Amino acid sequence: MLMVEIDPDKKKPLYEQIYEEIKRQIQVGTLPEKTKLPSARALAKRLEISRNTVDLAYGQLTAEGYIESRPRSGYYVCMVEDLAALDIQVETEEIDPEPKKEEMPYDFSPSGTEMEQFPYQVWRKLLKEVMINDNSELFQKGDAQGDLGLRKAIMYYLRQSRGVKVHCDQIILGAGMENLLFLLRQTFGTKQIVGVENPVYTNAYGILKELGFGVRPISMDQNGMKIDNLRKSDADLAYVTPAHQYPTGIVMPAGRRGQLLRWAKEKEGRYIIEDDYDSEFRYYGKPIPALQGTDHHEKVIYIGTFSRVIAPAIRVSYMVLPPKLLVKYRENVTAFSCSVSRIDQAVLTLFLSEGHFERHLNRMRNIYKEKHDLLLHCIRQFMNGADISGQGAGVHVMIDFHIRQNEQFERELRKQGVVIYPLSFYYMEGKPKEEKYILGFTRMKKKDMIEGTRIIGNVLSTIK
């Protein structure tokens, strides 16, 4: 005999009260498997409610598989295994939040962007423009490689500013370099071994590792990656930053570029990944041309990003695939849509095509140049005998303080709120012969830069 109590004064609809009570009884076993339920008509009569209300409750229970209707017989309880405690609320235990990084007042980090310079007004205006018409096409699924308009704008930019030989069909957009390297892995299909510069851009190294690439650190000399060592390794890909090596700041000279291209040409399937991460920032002379532009055998995969120049949250990176790899990409990568927001794509397209990007870039170049020059000035002023390298470009320099008590030095700096980045941190194998330090200036204010370098100078003088 089914016992169901209902309360017409409760807020909950009657049919839900019936549904929940029967469900509960099935779950706890009061109504065992194969029990016949009263007919909807009978139950309705007993509860003095409309037949329709019971039908609704029985319908939901049937839909969820708690009861079943047998033709010309009625409703029966189904076998519901292992769900005894089905709807009992269990509080999910509090999960430890990830530890926050402590902010230091004088952090010479080479990453990030000077956010005060973000072209907020322009971005807002362009967003409005993009949304002004009932442009609902914008909310449909876009092209997997990225919107054609944006790819064209990037094509023109790369041809003009970087000497990259590119057709817009070769461009693939992704939300950050990690996304592009993922697509590259999918394109190859099989496990690839990548030679990387040692010391290396640790982010790229981490991404390659996590993506399951085999990663081989290749040692460098003053011209960049040693091609002999690359050749001795089992790598078929070489990840390099020829315009401004990260972190040493070395510009790979024409001769070494030629050797690298020859290495790639020697064997089918070899490719160079050129990460042109900060080529926009060169403060004296013309920009260093991209390696890709001098390649005649379709051996260079070119990668660049807007995150560094515009803002970290504008996660639009681009990759130029050699035609042969493009064919492979289209064969092997079919299930992945473009990871960049279409609204961000639309705004960026206008940002590029209406000349805002060029203006912004020129402004950023001036701002970073001023900071760069100030940093060099401060180093010469406060740090006696420090040797600077990798200057003239990018957003960091490397400094050799010629000291041996590095741990004590770093500890003392931290105490006084200064963070600089030891070169050894960027070594994935071995150690540098002499410890040097990376000092970046993207996010640092000028007065903090002066104060920070002054502190470094003071600490240096107590140590030497």
Which one among 270, 330, 369, 445 touches a second copy, defined by CB under 8 A? Answer: 330
* Stretch 29-48 residues interacting with a second copy (CB under 8 A): none
Q: Nearest approach, Cβ of 78 to a second copy (angstroms)? A: 5
CA distances from 12 to 19, 20, 46, 51 (A): 11, 11, 20, 18
Residue with token string 């960091």: 396
Count of residues in the chain = 464
**Residue closer to a second copy, measured from CB, 113 or 453:** 113
Q: Where in 405-464 is the site for a second copy (CB under 8 A)?
A: none
Instruction: Select from 36, 167, 363, 431 the one that contacts a second copy (CB under 8 A).
Output: 167
- CB closer to a second copy out of 5 and 116: 116
Distance CA(15)–CA(394), nearest Å, equals 68
Residue 314: name the closest of 287, 282, 352 by CA: 352
Q: Which is nearer to a second copy, 65 or 430 (CB)?
A: 65
Looking at the Cβ atoms of 8 and 285, the one nearer to a second copy is 285
For a second copy, the closer of residues 32 and 464 by Cβ is 32
Q: Which of 150, 311, 395, 460 binds a second copy (CB under 8 A)?
A: 311
Member of 100, 141, 267, 433 binding a second copy (CB under 8 A): 141
Q: Which of 25, 53, 245, 259 binds a second copy (CB under 8 A)?
A: 259
Rounded to whole angstroms, the Cα distance separating 34 from 74 reads: 11
- Pick one of 22, 333, 375, 455: the residue that binds a second copy (CB under 8 A): 333
- Residues in contact with a second copy, shown as a per-residue x/- string from 353 to 392 under the rule CB under 8 A: ---------------------------------------x
Least Cβ distance, residue 157 to a second copy (angstroms): 16
Task: Verify binding: residue 262, a second copy, rule CB under 8 A.
Answer: yes
d(CA 372, CA 365): 10
Establish how many alpha carbons lie within 13 A of residue 247's alpha carbon, considering only the half-sphere containing its beta carbon: 30
To a second copy, the closest distance from the beta carbon of 464 in angstroms equals 28
Fill in the amino acid letter for 116: E
Phi and psi angles of residue 305, each rounded to the nearest 5 degrees, phi first: -150, 155
Pairs from 65-73 (Cβ < 8 Å, separation ≥ 24): 66/22, 66/23, 66/26, 67/22, 67/26, 67/37, 73/36
Burial 53-77 (b: 16+ CB within 10 A, else e): bbebbbebbeeeebbeeeeeeebeb
Residue 330 burial (10 A CB sphere; 0-12, 13-18, 19+): middle
Cis before residue 199, ω within 30 degrees of 0? yes
Question: Is 305 in contact with 176 (CB distance < 8 Å)?
Answer: yes
Torsion of CA 248, 254, 258, 259, to 10 degrees: -40
Does 302 contact a second copy by CB under 8 A?
Answer: no
Size of the site for a second copy (CB under 8 A): 103
The residue range among 328-336, 357-365, 371-379, 434-442 that interacts with a second copy, by the rule CB under 8 A, is 328-336
| Segment near a second copy (CB under 8 A); pick from 229-237, 339-347, 407-415, 420-428 | 339-347
Residue whose C-alpha is closest to residue 271's, from 226, 221, 244, 235: 235
**Footprint of a second copy on 143-162 (CB under 8 A):** none
Q: Does 99 bind a second copy (CB under 8 A)?
A: no
DSSP category for residue 282: B
**Contact with a second copy (CB under 8 A): which of 44, 146, 178, 237?**
178
Residue 133 tokens, joined? 């018409």
Contact positions with a second copy (CB under 8 A) in 272-301:
284-286, 288-289, 293-294, 296
CB 167 to a second copy: min, Å? 5
Q: Name the one range near a second copy by CB under 8 A: 120-128, 268-276, 367-375, 380-388.
A: 120-128
Non-local CB neighbours of 210 within 8 Å, separated by 6+ positions: none
- Which of these ranges, 119-127, 356-364, 405-413, 420-428, lies near a second copy under the rule CB under 8 A? 119-127
To a second copy, the closest distance from the beta carbon of 49 in angstroms equals: 17
Query: Of these, 29, 105, 258, 355, which contacts a second copy (CB under 8 A)?
Result: 258
* Inter-residue contact 424 to 347 (CB < 8 Å): no
Q: Which is nearer to a second copy, 332 or 389 (CB)?
A: 332
Name which of 186 and 353 has its Cβ closer to a second copy: 186
Of residues 67-96, those binding a second copy (CB under 8 A): 78-83, 85-87, 89-90, 92-95
Residue of the chain from 110, 142, 146, 394 that contacts a second copy (CB under 8 A): 142
